[in-house]
């Protein structure tokens, strides 16, 4: 499988297909159009999307970079076209930026939360807060060290798309979501079975 | 006892299938060991010194004879003829293979058991009072709450990859038998004047490298709100617990760094937003679960005095039987009944907490015959038959003796809590089991042990403290110095309502010195005690000095033993 989203020093590697699992629908794969910019080499502005791979047309920028640059006119213009989303680092305290996120909700098509390593669960709480506290209705994408065996947990806390690490097998990934037909605690996707069964 | 409904059963069955697939991917190489590790740990599968070890959950220590027979079967079929009951009320098998593990889990699922979250950086198996529901000093039967929280924590998605492991203990009795304050979260259940069930929450306790007692951070929380409050608490920990340093990742470090007041404030701040939601428990949920914890079919029996019970024994047995009654039999809420502790600490045993396949089968039969088919595991690594008719105690004692589980040493010096140490554990700095055995052999005289009375002696093979050495009146800790095994002694630890962390008395000892050191410490107590003072009471009155002097009195190799410091620090 070719990788359009080539890992390089200023992007975060991901599978060239994104796994979408919208609430209420079935999981499916679709080509990825979002470049995940690490922001580590800020060469005076956003990465050049025009001269990269044709299918990559939009960019996820680090939220911390957005905090610095969102008022600049070219950034604002690009954002207006729906070409900019943000990603939250695992250690980003999103509750400290309530106002900026409230405004951002009106312009970002997608937000993402990053897993620096698969066993770092902070972004699970970030996604839960985005859904519960900020009432974010749009897409939340899991990015970074996203492995097959985290998908189920991610789907339940509020992620509805997954940019898997490039080496992950998408066929196995697609099968993860129907492993469990029951739950014993609430999640973004619904009331726990143990409670729902009682009120029925 | 709780009985799975189709939801619980479906969940464990599906969990077996999920793990089977993960193991298959590991075996065919598509899943790397490093990435498999947290997955297998969340299923209690460790890789140890010699083999894989599987830790099977016994939620809040409660199980039945059918389950025990399955535990026995597993020890026979997949292991080497024994199982090990742990300080967290679970059972471990030391010799399983990776390939067999899915089948073992499938076997367990047929009797409503699993290994979910017995390890890993997630919410671990919840522990509670081994005498829950029968203890004479109980305010609230904690088991419905334990069960509701077991369900709430099982495969919780948001808290699947916490900074570190997370342990709950729940108590509802006057005497704390759960070491509540040594847990990441301790839940103390109470009833108010209106009869409403409320919880006090302690956070940030734990042993390990930095032993700390938990702090009270919330009082009077209505039981229904536990899930939302605990979600808030865990969310704060998940987001802000340290992940840069394994040794500083436990919640105790966060609570200490922030101060308990500030931690409580942050939890409260988070909770405000979710306290009204669907997370909370409903009365219908309570009713569904609580109906399983009603009393068994007790008979209407007269309460017997100890003398009456003793009178039922043959003349020749009376002295020994009385001893057992005094140590291993506890009062019960219901007249005519008592709770019996079966000691898994025979002197000279291989390991405290071990039970052989044959013992497990036999104990399962005893529970059917004498205790409504139910059992409990204690954190001291013994087993309990909770509902025994007083009139049948003598009969049971005779049966238990045949199985070598009737030693009347509960609470005495040889009722040692010990981790598997260097014999099994790859993290160990030193062996624990031979030390436990040597102490049991030295103090083999029951008359003497009885005279000494209550003393706890706990041994850990390394600073991780699986053997709870910090809360032993006498603690023994294995330490490594220049590749050699040494043992550090702590004194003054205690579990229970006056929980305390023991203090290191000084330089460490060689293994072969330990029985003498313990003897010297004990002799000091015997000489200096007043009236019927217990060891810990005498220690508190006298202070460390006389004990310390005695310990080093004839430490022949003392000059070679450098103080191993820093082990306990950070
Ligand atoms: C043989 C394999 C075992 C391994 C690899 C292991 C691993 C560990 C580790 C790494 C810790 C340290 C946690 C910390 O940083 O605080 C720990 C603590 C603990 N373990 Fe084990 N353990 C093993 C066996 C056992 C056994 C057999 C028991 C029970 C008899 C047990 C019960 C505990 C308990 C109660 C703690 C206390 C820590 C606390 O309360 O903070 N473990 N274990
Ligand atoms: S205390 Fe140390 S040696 Fe003992 S079981 Fe725990 S990790 Fe292993």
Mean pLDDT across B276-297: 95
Characterise B133 by phi-psi region: left (phi > 0), alpha (psi -120 to 50), beta (else). left
**Ligand 1 in contact with B407 (CB < 6 A)?**
no
> Which ligand has its closest atom nearest to the C-alpha of B83?
1
- The model's pLDDT over B334-354, given as tens digits with 9 standing for 90+, comes to 999 999 999 999 988 889 999
Name residues contacting ligand 2 (CB within 6 A).
B 419-421, 425, 427-428, 460-462, 464-467
Mean pLDDT across A88-103: 96
Beta-carbon pairs below 8 A across chains A and B: 106
Alpha-carbon distance B161 to B175, whole Å?
34
> Average per-residue pLDDT in chain B?
94
How many contiguous H segments (helices) and E segments (strands) does chain B have?
18, 20
- The model's pLDDT over B202-212, given as tens digits with 9 standing for 90+, comes to 999 999 999 99
Q: Among A89, A151, A182, A200, which would you mutate to test the B interface (most chain B Cβ atoms within 10 Å of its Cβ)?
A: A182
Mean pLDDT across B72-83: 95
Instruction: Give the DSSP letter of residue B494.
Output: B
Please say whether the beta carbons of A114 and A89 come within 8 A: yes
Residue B424 is predicted with a pLDDT of 86
Instruction: Say which of B38, B273, B274 has its CB closest to residue A119.
Output: B38
Instruction: Say which of A93, A124, A149 has its CB closest to residue B158.
Output: A124
Residue B562 is predicted with a pLDDT of 46
pLDDT at residue B441 is higher than 60 = yes
Alpha-carbon distance B376 to B85, whole Å?
11
Residue B368 is predicted with a pLDDT of 98
The tokens 């040794």 sit on which residue? B247
- The model's pLDDT over B381-419, given as tens digits with 9 standing for 90+, comes to 999 999 999 999 999 999 999 999 999 999 999 999 999
User: Closest Cα of chain B to A5: distance in Å?
Assistant: 22
pLDDT at residue B67 is higher than 80 = yes
User: Closest Cα of chain B to A190: distance in Å?
Assistant: 10
Count the Cβ atoms, other than its own, within 10 Å of residue B132: 25
Query: Is A55 an 8 Å CB contact of chain B?
Result: no
Mean pLDDT across B234-251: 95
Residue B51 is predicted with a pLDDT of 87
Residue A50 is predicted with a pLDDT of 74
Which domains does chain B possess? 6-109 (3.90.480.20), 127-293 (3.30.413.10), 306-402 (3.90.480.20), 417-564 (3.30.413.10)
Contact assignment for B160 to A194 by CB distance below 8 Å: no
For B299-303, B319-323, B467-471, B560-564, which range has the lowest pLDDT when averaged over its residues?
B560-564
Q: Which residues of A touch B159 (CB under 8 A)?
A: 121, 124
Contact assignment for B158 to A153 by CB distance below 8 Å: yes
Alpha-carbon distance A173 to A181, whole Å?
17
Query: Per DSSP, what are the bridge partners of residue B52?
Result: B47, B96
**DSSP string computed for A96-163:** GGHHHHHHHTTT-SEEEEEESSTT-THHHHHHHHHHHTS---SEEEEEES--GGGHHHHHHHT--EE-
Quick one: tokens of B450? 């009885």
Mean pLDDT across B547-556: 87
* ipTM metric: 0.94
pLDDT grade for A43, boundaries at 50, 70 and 90:
low
Query: Is B22 an 8 Å CB contact of chain A?
Result: yes
Query: Is B3 an 8 Å CB contact of chain A?
Result: no
Residue B560 is predicted with a pLDDT of 46
User: Closest Cα of chain A to B195: distance in Å?
Assistant: 25
pLDDT at residue B565 is higher than 80 = no
Mean pLDDT across A85-91: 97
Residue A41 is predicted with a pLDDT of 64
Residue B561 is predicted with a pLDDT of 46
Tell me which of 3.20.20, 3.40.50, 2.40.128, 3.30.70 is the CATH number of domain A17-199. Answer: 3.20.20
Residue A3 is predicted with a pLDDT of 42
Contact assignment for A128 to B235 by CB distance below 8 Å: yes
Length of chain B measured in residues:
570
pLDDT grade for A199, boundaries at 50, 70 and 90:
confident
User: Closest Cα of chain A to B15: distance in Å?
Assistant: 8
Q: Which residues of A touch B282 (CB under 8 A)?
A: 195, 198-199
Residue ranges covered by each domain of chain A: 17-199
Alpha-carbon distance B239 to A89, whole Å?
12
Nearest CA to ligand 1 atom 35: B466
**Ligand 1 in contact with B458 (CB < 6 A)?**
no
pLDDT grade for A44, boundaries at 50, 70 and 90:
low
Ligand 1 centre to CA of B150 (Å) is: 20
Residue B566 is predicted with a pLDDT of 34
Strand ranges across the sheet with B215-222: B127-128, B168-171, B185-191, B197-203, B215-222
Highest averaged pLDDT of the listed ranges A5-19, B85-99, B252-266:
B252-266
Residue A52 is predicted with a pLDDT of 73
Mean pLDDT across B44-73: 94
Ligand 2 centre to CA of B99 (Å) is: 25
Residue B483 is predicted with a pLDDT of 84
B483 burial class (0-12, 13-18, 19+ CB within 10 angstroms)? Answer: exposed
Query: Per DSSP, what are the bridge partners of residue B56?
Result: B91
B362 three-state secondary structure: helix
Ligand 1 centre to CA of B464 (Å) is: 6
Q: How many CA atoms lie within 13 A of B295 on its CB side?
A: 10
Alpha-carbon distance B282 to B481, whole Å?
55
pLDDT at residue A4 is higher than 80 = no
pLDDT grade for B183, boundaries at 50, 70 and 90:
very high
Among residues 228-257 of chain B, which lie with CB inside 8 Å of chain A?
A: 235, 238-239, 243
- The model's pLDDT over B254-264, given as tens digits with 9 standing for 90+, comes to 999 999 999 99
């Amino acid at each position: 499988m070719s990788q359009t989203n080539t890992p390089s020093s200023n992007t975060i590697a991901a599978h060239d297909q994104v796994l979408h699992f919208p609430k209420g629908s079935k999981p499916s794969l679709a080509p990825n159009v979002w470049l995940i910019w690490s922001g580590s080499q800020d060469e005076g502005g956003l990465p050049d999307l025009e001269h990269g791979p044709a299918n990559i047309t939009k960019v996820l920028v680090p939220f911390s970079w957005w905090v610095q640059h969102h008022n600049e006119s070219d950034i604002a213009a690009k954002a207006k076209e729906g070409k900019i989303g943000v990603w939250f680092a695992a250690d980003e305290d999103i509750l400290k930026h309530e106002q900026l996120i409230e405004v951002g909700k009106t312009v970002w098509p997608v937000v993402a939360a990053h897993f620096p390593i698969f066993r770092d669960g902070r972004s699970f709480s970030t996604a839960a807060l985005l859904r519960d506290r900020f009432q974010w209705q749009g897409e939340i994408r899991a990015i970074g060290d996203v492995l097959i065996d985290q998908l189920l947990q991610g789907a339940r806390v509020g992620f509805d798309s997954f940019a898997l690490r490039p080496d992950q097998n998408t066929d196995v990934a697609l099968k993860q979501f129907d492993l469990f037909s029951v739950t014993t605690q609430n999640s973004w996707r619904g009331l726990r079975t143990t409670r729902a069964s009682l009120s029925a | 006892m709780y009985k799975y409904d189709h939801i619980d059963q479906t969940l464990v069955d599906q969990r077996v299938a999920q793990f089977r697939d993960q193991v298959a991917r590991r075996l065919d190489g598509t899943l790397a060991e490093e990435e498999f590790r947290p997955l297998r740990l969340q299923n209690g599968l460790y890789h140890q010194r010699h083999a894989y070890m599987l830790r099977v959950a016994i939620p809040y220590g409660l199980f039945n004879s059918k389950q025990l027979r399955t535990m026995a079967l597993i020890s026979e079929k997949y292991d080497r003829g024994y199982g090990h009951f742990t300080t967290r009320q679970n059972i471990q098998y030391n010799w399983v293979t990776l390939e067999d593990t899915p089948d073992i889990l499938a076997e367990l699922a047929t009797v409503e058991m699993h290994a979910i979250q017995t390890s890993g950086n997630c919410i671990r198996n919840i522990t509670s009072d081994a005498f829950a529901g029968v203890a004479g000093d109980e305010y609230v039967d904690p088991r419905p709450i334990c069960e509701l929280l077991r369900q709430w924590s099982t495969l919780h998605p948001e808290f699947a990859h916490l900074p570190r492991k997370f342990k709950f203990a729940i108590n509802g009795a006057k005497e704390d038998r759960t070491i509540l304050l040594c847990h990441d979260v301790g839940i103390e259940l109470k009833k108010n004047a209106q009869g409403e069930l409320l919880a006090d929450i302690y956070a940030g306790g734990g042993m390990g490298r930095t032993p700390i007692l938990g702090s009270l951070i919330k009082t009077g929380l209505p039981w229904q709100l536990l899930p939302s409050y605990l979600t808030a608490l865990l969310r704060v920990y998940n987001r802000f617990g340290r992940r840069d340093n394994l040794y500083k990742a436990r919640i105790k470090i966060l609570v200490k760094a922030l101060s308990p007041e500030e931690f409580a404030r942050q939890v409260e701040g988070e909770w405000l937003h979710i306290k009204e939601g669907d997370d909370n428990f409903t009365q219908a949920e309570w009713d569904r679960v609580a109906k399983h914890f009603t009393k068994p079919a007790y008979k209407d029996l007269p309460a017997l005095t100890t003398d009456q019970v003793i009178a039922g024994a043959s003349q020749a047995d009376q002295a020994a039987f009385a001893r057992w009654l005094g140590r291993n039999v506890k009062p019960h809420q219901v007249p005519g009944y008592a709770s019996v502790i079966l000691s898994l600490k025979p002197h000279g045993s291989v390991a405290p907490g071990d039970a052989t396949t044959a013992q497990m089968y036999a104990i399962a039969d005893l529970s059917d015959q004498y205790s409504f088919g139910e059992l409990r595991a204690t954190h001291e690594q013994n087993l309990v038959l909770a509902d025994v008719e007083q009139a049948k105690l003598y009969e049971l004692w005779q049966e238990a003796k045949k199985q070598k589980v009737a030693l009347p040493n509960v609470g005495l010096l040889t009722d040692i809590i010990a981790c598997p140490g260097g014999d099994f554990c790859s993290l160990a700095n030193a062996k624990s089991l031979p030390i436990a055995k040597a102490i049991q052999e030295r103090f083999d005289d029951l008359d003497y042990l009885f005279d000494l009375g209550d003393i706890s002696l706990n041994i850990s093979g390394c600073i991780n403290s699986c053997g709870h050495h910090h809360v032993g009146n006498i603690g023994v800790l294995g330490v490594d110095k220049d590749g050699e095994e040494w043992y550090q002694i702590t004194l003054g630890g205690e579990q229970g309502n006056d929980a305390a962390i023991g203090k290191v008395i000084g330089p460490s000892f060689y293994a072969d010195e330990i029985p003498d050191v313990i003897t010297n410490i004990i002799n000091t107590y015997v000489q200096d005690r007043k009236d019927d003072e217990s060891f810990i009471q005498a220690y508190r009155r006298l202070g460390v000095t006389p004990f310390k002097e005695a310990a080093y009195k004839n430490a022949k190799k003392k000059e070679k033993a450098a103080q191993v410091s820093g082990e306990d620090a950070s």
